[in-house]
Structure 1
Amino acid sequence: MTKPLYPFKFTPILKDKIWGGQKLKTLLHKESDLPNIGESWEISDVEGDTSIVSNGELNGTSLQVLLETYKAELIGEKNYKHFGNKFPLLIKFIDAKEDLSIQLHPNDELAAKRHNSFGKTEMWYVMQADQDANLIVGFNQKMTAKTYLEHLEAKTLTQILNFDKVKEGDTYFIEVGRVHAIGAGVLLAEIQQTSDITYRVYDWDRVDDEGKERDLHNDLAIDAFNFDMDDDFRIAYSKTDNQSNPMVSCPYFTTNYLEVTKSLNKTNDLDSFIIYICVEGEVEIITNQTSEIIKKGETLLLPAAIKSYQITSKKARLLEVYV
């Protein structure tokens, strides 16, 4: 007999990166001895990096086993029909002490053909940014493959890229085929398809401790670019207290902004799991069986089978995510 479902927390999977820093430890209280923590994978079903439950009766169970055991009860009927025993989203916090590489991601078709993977549509929510920190998203002019390749060859790529100064709360939608990079000094939450496929096109000529440059993927990347995209990557959204404010809705995920200042009674009639990412303050999420507190930098997975629950806080900001 299977145990009843409840809201799940997972042990963060921390990643040492050449560009990583210490904010995941100092600001989000992740425990690690890694020198340059670039990423905290909060909920992951990427092969080799599957999340493990850290709370309640199913503590120690992998997300993969949860999904194989509970199926549609965990992720919803339509999602289980579509994704089967593969959790569709990857949730991360990212700390860029230095600039990340300039990169893009392939669409579903290319990723399936080349890597047996989903594509990688994603969004960013800026949690903290140092003064003058920026993100690179898209180009600063109309672009063609010919012009792009000329600048790539001449090492003048930065002349044609769009740099945006950012602050807390800024939100970006990064479609497949769009060039992008997280700039130094930015801490953000990332919501994306379950995929670890990145095409790196420029890495600032930096080298690792052994004097080696990281691999670039320009041969693969040129087919993955979409040079015809509109400049619609900045997301405007309202911030009305105590209600779900739409941010991003795409075929792969929906994300809402939720600022909580009291107790809210919520229902889930979405036929989907719901993920809550706490980006400021702390909240208590109460179901019939359990109560869980999540603080800034923590993430909770609410199974699809849980249809009613309560969220309570004096002051907290959440990202509410479902498929």
Structure 2
Amino acid sequence: MKLYPLKFTPIFKYRIWGGEKLKTELNKKYTAENIGESWEISDVSGDETIVEEGSLQGKTLKELTQQFKGDFVGHAVYEKFGEEFPLLIKFIDAKTPLSIQVHPSNEIAKKRHNSFGKNEMWYVMQADTNAELIVGFDEKLSTGSYKKHLENNTILDTMHHENVKKGDTFYIPTGRVHAIGAGVLLAEIQQTSDVTYRIYDYDRVDAKTGEKRDLHNDLAIDVIDFETHENYKTAYQIEKNISNELVHSPYFKTNILEINTNVEKDYSNIDSFVIYMCVEGSVEIIVENESYKINNGETILLPAAINFVSLKSENAKILEVYY
């Protein structure tokens, strides 16, 4: 059976802070309320996305990796991760703020949860006026002063708040305390992990359960990086119709392409799958004379066996993600 560019059926997640933008801005189809996340490509146990169309329709990400191995994920990727797909791809809509949170490293996540750690990045797709992200600290804290701020509910005062607009990009390594603020719609690329330690949650009650959500401060305390940094935002430049580096980390590489013509891509030197997330406009993807299309808010995966791709658009931006 032949591999081809694959769209997956998204998994929609209720969140206490979720809104309507996945529907109104990204044209996602669902009826539930407070949907905060669209899991586009996921191998998280119990939340595996399945192929939407074509001869492989109905197969999960896991089944594709098992069946096609290196031809699907890349031979080096398969050698390193086996049947574990290394990335989780999402769109996130925060109508109200997310909890202040932190993610553990690979080593700690493996030991405590038998999971990958959760290094991640954000690309802002839309932001309301004065919307902000919270990333890292603005003042140097000791463990003791941090605990005091937690007790006094003043932890927000110590953190770095940044007003954001479309196109702003942040890399969030494990250990960096962070939160998405109200009014932000973004694309998130992360390791395959659902391990989050909540530090502070505004004392709010989840309408679904009638209870406050659990905090994980005992687990979080030895994970947090208390270092302060001058800049938390990722600086980048865009030259049209080529891949521009956005975030290259040991866990994933993400480029941005702004396309207004026909672009030929040769992936023969990348031993990895490639994921396109459309973050503006729409793009036609041509592989072996077959045409596929993604619109703003859609995602497609190119198996590693596909080396040559033509991209056509009059005006689009896509994130290009690979291992």
Q: Mark yes or no: TM-score above 0.5.
A: yes
Equivalent in the alignment of 1:90? 88
Cα deviations by residue, 1:145-175 (Å, 9 ceiling, x for unpaired): 1211110011111110111000000000000
Cα deviations by residue, 1:3-44 (Å, 9 ceiling, x for unpaired): 110000000100011100000011101111111110000000
Equivalent in the alignment of 1:292? 292
Cα deviations by residue, 1:156-204 (Å, 9 ceiling, x for unpaired): 1111011100000000000000000000000000000000000000000
In the TM superposition, what are the counterparts of 1:41-80 in structure 2 within 5 Å? 41-80=39-78
Contact 2:273 2:302 (8 Å CA) reproduced: yes
Higher mean C-alpha displacement, 51-60 vs 123-132: 51-60
Equivalent in the alignment of 2:220? 221
Equivalent in the alignment of 1:321? 321
TM-score (norm. length: structure 1): 0.98
**What is the rounded CA distance, in whole Å, between the counterparts of 1:248 and 1:80 in structure 2?**
22
**What is the rounded CA distance, in whole Å, between the counterparts of 2:301 and 2:176 in structure 1?**
29
In the TM superposition, what are the counterparts of 1:151-230 in structure 2 within 5 Å? 151-209=149-207, 210-228=209-227, 230=229
Segments of 4+ moved more than 3 angstroms = 229-232
Structure 2 residue 238 is the aligned partner of structure 1 residue 236: no
Contact 2:138 2:228 (8 Å CA) reproduced: no
Q: What is the percent sequence identity of the aligned residues?
A: 57
Offset at residue 143 of structure 1 (A): 2.2
Gaps of 5+ in 1: none
**What is the rounded CA distance, in whole Å, between the counterparts of 1:289 and 1:166 in structure 2?**
40
**What is the rounded CA distance, in whole Å, between the counterparts of 1:260 and 1:304 in structure 2?**
22
Offset at residue 287 of structure 1 (A): 0.6
Equivalent in the alignment of 1:249? 248
Q: Which amino acid aligns with 1:105?
A: H
Structure 2 residue 139 is the aligned partner of structure 1 residue 129: no
Gaps of 5+ in 2: none
**What is the rounded CA distance, in whole Å, between the counterparts of 1:51 and 1:6 in structure 2?**
16
Q: Which amino acid aligns with 2:63?
A: V
Cα deviations by residue, 1:248-296 (Å, 9 ceiling, x for unpaired): 1110000001000000111002101110000000001111152110000
Contact 1:280 1:317 (8 Å CA) reproduced: yes
* Secondary structure class of the residue paired with 1:223: coil
* Secondary structure class of the residue paired with 1:57: coil
Contact 1:138 1:231 (8 Å CA) reproduced: no
Q: Which amino acid aligns with 1:275?
A: I
Offset at residue 77 of structure 1 (A): 1.0
Equivalent in the alignment of 2:278? 278
Structure 2 residue 301 is the aligned partner of structure 1 residue 301: yes
Contact 1:134 1:183 (8 Å CA) reproduced: yes
Contact 1:14 1:39 (8 Å CA) reproduced: yes
Alpha-carbon RMSD across the aligned residues, in angstroms, is 0.9
Offset at residue 232 of structure 1 (A): 4.3
Q: Which amino acid aligns with 2:117?
A: G
* Secondary structure class of the residue paired with 1:224: coil
Question: How many correspondences in the alignment?
Answer: 321
